Amino acid sequence: MKTIDAITKPVLFALLLTLSFVALHAQDSTKKKPSKEDMVKELIQKKEYVFIAQMALPMSGGSRQLTTYYDFKVYGDTLKSDLPYFGRSFSAPIDPSKIGINFTTTDFDYVVADRKKGGWDITITPRNNSDWRQFLLTVFTNGSASMQASSNNRQPISFNGYIEARKAKK
């Protein structure tokens, strides 16, 4: 009888230990992973994202697929634009390198509004930029986005693309 107790106690202990590990693992696997919508929402709230433009839609002329990397970065208190411009300009820039939508600013307004059918409308208004008046960014729950840029001296232009998380500086 003692030999049976000596064998069954360690076996029962091992069985209970195994069951407890299985139960703990089952609890970990039932934890919900954040959805794409939750991740996009967090990026927008933290103001830590990059809009990657894939297509330009000028007011005049057809749409243009962008084969080069163009972006619009929102990094907390800094806004950096590196977007192309196609369209009519009502006054020529003094510096020919200023043909695109290229600027960096830390002085801007940032307003987020929820859309009725999901997603967000973001209005970005640079305060110290005399040419570009406002950027309207519409972000959908899957991360795809469209942007409309309004200027004081040029026709508006729109872009289609997506947003992604800010890449860490190396």
13 occurs within a structural domain: yes
Note whether 10 and 81 are same-domain residues. no
CA distances from 33 to 21, 44, 45, 58 (A): 21, 19, 19, 39
Check whether 170 has a pLDDT greater than 50.
no
Tokens of 143: 């991360």
SS3 state at 3 = helix
Confidence class for position 85, pLDDT limits 50, 70, 90: confident
170 occurs within a structural domain: no
Tens of pLDDT, residues 90-124: 776 666 666 788 889 999 999 999 999 889 999 99
Note whether 54 and 1 are same-domain residues. no
Residue 79's domain spans which residues?
36-165
Give the mean pLDDT of the chain.
82
DSSP 38: H
Note whether 67 and 147 are same-domain residues. yes
Check whether 155 has a pLDDT greater than 50.
yes
Please compute the mean of the pLDDT values over residues 56-60 and round it to a whole number. Answer: 89
% the chain with pLDDT above 90: 41
What CATH code is carried by the domain that includes residue 124? 2.40.128.410
Nearest Cα residue to 134 out of 149, 156, 146, 121 = 149
List the alpha helices (DSSP H) in 62-163. none
Can you tell me the distance from the alpha carbon of 118 to that of 139, in angstroms, rounded to the nearest whole number? Answer: 9
121 occurs within a structural domain: yes
CB count within 10 Å of CB 97 equals: 7
Please compute the mean of the pLDDT values over residues 139-146 and round it to a whole number. Answer: 94
